C-alpha cells in the first residue's frame, strides 16, 4: 500500500506498530504532517518585523495622529511592504503552498488577496478581516519565537497511530491509507477535510479558546490528545466519504438533492464526532434540549416546506448557511443567558465560539447518541454511512411518539 507523497517540511514516521483495520490488513506504515505553511507564515511575519524595525515607535505615533492622517500613513506603510520584492516573494510562496491551496478550496470568505492585504498591513495594524485574521496575525507577530518552538515540539509529539485507531472504530473494514495532515494558523476555521487531505488550524482549533492574556503561556504543556482526536474526526470524514458519497447519485428535483444533502451531512458529522466529543462545553451545547428542540423544529419545518413547494432553493441555501454560523452564535448567547454566568459574556463567547451548536453537528450528535444509548451497538451507527436515511427511523424509535424531539421525515 502506498502513502500519498508530497513535499513536506516535517515527515513523522509512525514508529508504534501500525494499526490494522477490521479486515486485518495493515494500514500505511508512515504518515506525513505538513507544518510548512505555519513555518513559512512565521518566516513572513519575522521578515515583516525585521523590515519595519521602528514599528513599535511608529504605532505610538500613529495613535496620536488624527484618524484620517493615521489611516493614510498606514496605507503607505502597507504599500511599502507590498512593494518589497523579498516580502512579495515570501508571501507568494506562502499563499501558493499546498496547505493554502487546500484552505481556499474549503473557505469562500477568504481569498489570497485578503491574506495579502492582512500580511502587508503588519506589524502595524490588524486590519478588519474575516474571523479577525488581521488581529490574530498581529498578535502572532509579538509571539513568534514561542509559537515557532511550540509548533515543532507539538508536531513531534502527535501520535497519528492513535488518531487512526480512533477513526477506524467508526468505519467498516477496509483499506484506509493515511492522508497528509496540513497545519495552518489564522483562526478562520478549525480542522476540516477537503480533497482527501486534512487541514488543521492551530489557532482556530487550539489556541483561540485560551484567554488572550495567557494564550501563549506554557505552550509546551499543552496536551496533544485534543489535536490527535480532532485529527481522528477528520480522518473519519475522509475515510467515510466512499460510503456516504458514492458516485452516480442522481436527483429528479432540487428538493430531493437538498434533503439528501442534509441527511448525509447529519450522519457524517454525527459519526465523526464520536471520535472527539468529550464531556466538555461542546457536548453540553449539543445535548441542551432547548437547542436540540429548536434545530429539530427547524429541520421538520424546512423539509415539510420543500415537500410542499413552499420554499425556494435560494431560501434553503441561505437558511443552511445561517445554520452553520449566525444562528449557532445566537444559540450560544442564549445558552449563556440560560445556563451559565460563571464568566462574562464576552469571555464566554471568545472561549466557546468554536463550539457554537450548528444544526448538522447538533442533530448528528444528538440522534446518534440516542441510537447508541438504546442499542449500545456501534455497528448500527457504522451501517448508517451506507444508508444515511435510516437514521430518522432509528432515532424516532428511541423516543416517545408524543414529544417535540421527533423528526418528521
Contact status, residue 347 vs residue 333, Cβ threshold 8 Å: no
Residues 299, 294: Cα–Cα separation, whole Å:
9
Mean pLDDT of the 91-102 span: 98
For the entire predicted model, the pTM comes to: 0.89
Q: What is the pLDDT of residues 270-328, one digit of tens each?
A: 999 999 987 788 899 999 999 999 999 999 999 999 999 999 999 999 999 999 989 99
Give 184's strand partners.
201
The mean predicted confidence, pLDDT, of the chain is: 90
- pLDDT above 90: residue 376: no
Residues 350, 132: Cα–Cα separation, whole Å:
12
Residues 168, 20: Cα–Cα separation, whole Å:
9
Q: Which pLDDT belongs to residue 27?
A: 39
Q: Tell me the percentage of the chain whose pLDDT exceeds 90.
A: 78
Residues 262, 71: Cα–Cα separation, whole Å:
45
Q: Would you place residue 209 in the very low, low, confident or very high pLDDT band (cuts 50, 70, 90)?
A: confident
Mean pLDDT of the 350-365 span: 92
- Closest to 168 (Cα-Cα) out of 64, 56, 24, 367: 24
Ordered by start, the domain boundaries in the chain are 1-244, 250-396
Amino acid at each position: 500500500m502506498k502513502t500519498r507523497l508530497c513535499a513536506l517540511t516535517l515527515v513523522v514516521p509512525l514508529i508504534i506498530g501500525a494499526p490494522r483495520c477490521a479486515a486485518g490488513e495493515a494500514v500505511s506504515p508512515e504518515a506525513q504532517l505538513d507544518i510548512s505553511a505555519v513555518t513559512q507564515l512565521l518566516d513572513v511575519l519575522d521578515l515583516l518585523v525585521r523590515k519595519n524595525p521602528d514599528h513599535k515607535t511608529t504605532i505610538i505615533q500613529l495613535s496620536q495622529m488624527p484618524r484620517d492622517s493615521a489611516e493614510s500613513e498606514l496605507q503607505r506603510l502597507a504599500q511599502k511592504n507590498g512593494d518589497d520584492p523579498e516580502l512579495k516573494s515570501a508571501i507568494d510562496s506562502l499563499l501558493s503552498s499546498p496547505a493554502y491551496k487546500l484552505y481556499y478550496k474549503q473557505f469562500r470568505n477568504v481569498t489570497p488577496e485578503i491574506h495579502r492585504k492582512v500580511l502587508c498591513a503588519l506589524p502595524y495594524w490588524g486590519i478588519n478581516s474575516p474571523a479577525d485574521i488581521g488581529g490574530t496575525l498581529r498578535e502572532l507577530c509579538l509571539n513568534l519565537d514561542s509559537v515557532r518552538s511550540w509548533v515543532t515540539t507539538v508536531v513531534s509529539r502527535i501520535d497519528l497511530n492513535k488518531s487512526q485507531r480512533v477513526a477506524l472504530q467508526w468505519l467498516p473494514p477496509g483499506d484506509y491509507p493515511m492522508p497528509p495532515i496540513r497545519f495552518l494558523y489564522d483562526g478562520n476555521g478549525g480542522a476540516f477535510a477537503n480533497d482527501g487531505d486534512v487541514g488543521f488550524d492551530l489557532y482556530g482549533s487550539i489556541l483561540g479558546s485560551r484567554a488572550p492574556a495567557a494564550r501563549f503561556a506554557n505552550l509546551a504543556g499543552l496536551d496533544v490528545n485534543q489535536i490527535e482526536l480532532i485529527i481522528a474526526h477528520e480522518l473519519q470524514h475522509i475515510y467515510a466519504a466512499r460510503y456516504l458519497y458514492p458516485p452516480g447519485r442522481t436527483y429528479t428535483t432540487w428538493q430531493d438533492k437538498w434533503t439528501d444533502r442534509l441527511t448525509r451531512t447529519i450522519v457524517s458529522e454525527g459519526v465523526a464526532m464520536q471520535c472527539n466529543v468529550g464531556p466538555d462545553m461542546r457536548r453540553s451545547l449539543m445535548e441542551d434540549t432547548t437547542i436540540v428542540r429548536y434545530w429539530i423544529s427547524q429541520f421538520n419545518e424546512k423539509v415539510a416546506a420543500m415537500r410542499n413547494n413552499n420554499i425556494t432553493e435560494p431560501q434553503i441555501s441561505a437558511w443552511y448557511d445561517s445554520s452553520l454560523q449566525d444562528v449557532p452564535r445566537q444559540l450560544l448567547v442564549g445558552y449563556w443567558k440560560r445556563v451559565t454566568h460563571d464568566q462574562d459574556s464576552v469571555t464566554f463567547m471568545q472561549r466557546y465560539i468554536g463550539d457554537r451548536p450548528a444544526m448538522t453537528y447538533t442533530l448528528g450528535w444528538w440522534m446518534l447518541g440516542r441510537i447508541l444509548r438504546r442499542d449500545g451497538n456501534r455497528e448500527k451507527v457504522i451501517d448508517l454511512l451506507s444508508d444515511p436515511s435510516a437514521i430518522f427511523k432509528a432515532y424516532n424509535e428511541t423516543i416517545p411518539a408524543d414529544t417535540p424531539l421527533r423528526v418528521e421525515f
